[in-house]
Structure 1
Amino acid sequence: MILVHDIFICKPGNASKLAKLFKEVMSDDNEFVSVMTDMTGQYNRVIMVSKYDNLTAYEKSWEDMKKDVEKSKKMQEKMAGYHEMYLTGSREIYQVW
């Protein structure tokens, strides 16, 4: 199994807003695990966690999203303006042993 952490460093005052938005939008996604916000370390950090059986399943999820135009369109509508809430981001992929 792999865990994917999509990490966002938010503008001040936006971390909880972005976390709530991710939780709402991703709640129907089977791979979605949780949304975390910082309690220590770097401030204003939101981490969205998802899990996959392997890297092939992770890649397939991206391909499936591209194919499902209606689902992608709905997600884009819900996520409108989210780019304005964060400064930078990154992705980390972990192998679970």
Structure 2
Amino acid sequence: MIIVHEIFVCKPGNASKLATLFKEVMADSPEFVNIMTDMTGEFNRVIIQSKYENLTAYEERFKNYMEDSEEVKKMKEKMQGYHDLYLSGKREIFKIW
């Protein structure tokens, strides 16, 4: 089992907007477990936590997002302009023991 954290450092005042957008767009995706914002530590971060059986399952899902399916088209339409809400980001992948 692996857990993936997609971490976005938002522009001030935009973390809740980005978290709300992600929650709406990813509501029907079972691998997305949590959308979190900071209460302590670094400010203005949104973390999307997802869970996969293994790296192969993660890679397959990532590959599906690169395809031009109807699902992906709808997601891209809803996400249009989200790059304006954050400054930087990173991905962390953890193995569950």
For residues 72-91 of structure 1, what are the alpha-carbon distances to aligned partners after superposition, in whole Å with 9 as ceiling and x for unaligned?
11000000110000000000
Runs of 4+ in 1 over 4 A off after TM superposition: none
Q: Structure 1 vs Structure 2: percent identity of aligned residues?
A: 65
C-alpha RMSD of the superposition: 0.9
* 1:1-97 pair list within 5 angstroms: 1-67=1-67, 69-97=69-97
TM-superposed CA distance for 1:59, in Å, is 0.3
The runs of 5 or more residues in structure 1 that have no matched partner are none
What TM-score does the superposition give when structure 1 sets the normalisation length? Answer: 0.96
TM-superposed CA distance for 1:62, in Å, is 1.5
| 1-structure distance, mates of 2:19, 2:45 | 9
| Matched residue count | 97
What TM-score does the superposition give when structure 2 sets the normalisation length? Answer: 0.96
